Amino acid sequence: MTNSEITLKLLVDKRDRKVVFAEANKDFVDFLFYILTLPIGIITKLLAKDPLPGSLGDLYQSIENLNDTYILQNKTKDTVLDPKPLSYNPNQDLLLIPKDLPTIKRRFYMCTYTGRRCKYVTEDPKSVCPSCRYVMSDEVTHVVPEADKEAATAEVGFVKGVVTYMVMDDLAVQPMSTISAISLLNKLSIKEVCVLGEKEVHFGMAEGLKLLKASLECKNVLTRVFLDSEDQVKIV
């Protein structure tokens, strides 16, 4: 997911005013996968402005209010109040799918003594060789394994981008196909095509927070996020 909004196409049951499924691309599905990697502390922090079901909100608030004198010296409250997700990128909004961190070119150095090569390397060109005591400022070539090169050019996120996905109202995900769509309509006992309509919606940070909260409270998540608001877009 990028900093721009994602566009989703919803197939809506106009009779019952509920989402049948969303037609989504890689970015939206990556976001759904990413939700499952978020630590509980992060989820509680993101939803702190809204009352949370259960006791997690109260637990979070009590830890936040706890005096630091009760915390071990080698620990901080941020360990649980602000934990880092799996692929954390501090330059992006927390809720958005983080891309791989920018590649940093690592440089390695050996000592400048020309009489022999000591078996030491460093990343600091100001270091002194522990054997010959010469400054270790002679840069050497770092050979990157082929596997690392392939990983650096690999597609980020979780799922492949060449596929369109169906995301159900309860957020279940599967590849988009005509057979899958027909099977779902039969499962939901939707016999008349005339009751179906299409609605195009935009998904950004605000909708992401609503989806995260709704996913903890109900199974009709897409319906709650996109059809329960007062400012509803006309379904065609």
- pLDDT tens for 22-45 read 999 998 998 998 888 888 888 888
| Within a domain: 54 | yes
Q: Are residues 161 and 201 in the same domain?
A: yes
Domain end among 27, 57, 84: 84
- pLDDT tens for 62-82 read 888 889 888 888 888 888 888
Better-predicted residue by pLDDT, 220 or 97:
220
Q: What is the predicted pLDDT for the residue at 87? A: 55
Structural contact between residues 62 and 189, judged by C-beta atoms closer than 8 angstroms: no
| Averaged pLDDT for residues 203-210 | 89
| Residue carrying structure tokens 């049951």 | 13
Structural contact between residues 51 and 57, judged by C-beta atoms closer than 8 angstroms: yes
| Averaged pLDDT for residues 227-233 | 56
Q: How many domains does the chain have?
A: 2
| Within a domain: 142 | no
- Residue 234 clears pLDDT 80, i.e. is over it: no
Q: What is the predicted pLDDT for the residue at 148? A: 58
- pLDDT tens for 102-159 read 445 678 898 887 776 688 899 898 999 888 888 989 888 877 777 655 655 566 778 8
The answer, as to whether pTM is greater than 0.75, is no
Q: Which residues are CB-neighbours of 86 under 8 A, at least 6 positions away?
A: 37
| Within a domain: 111 | no
Q: Quickly list DSSP for 85-109.
A: -TT--TTS-TTSPPPPPPP----EE
Better-predicted residue by pLDDT, 111 or 50:
111
Q: Are residues 74 and 17 in the same domain?
A: no
> What span, in angstroms and rounded, lies between the C-alpha atoms of 231 and 55?
32
Q: Are residues 26 and 51 in the same domain?
A: no
User: How many Å is the maximal CA-CA distance in the chain?
Assistant: 87
Q: Are residues 173 and 201 in the same domain?
A: yes
Q: What is the predicted pLDDT for the residue at 25? A: 92
| Within a domain: 120 | no
Domain extent for 9: 1-37+157-236
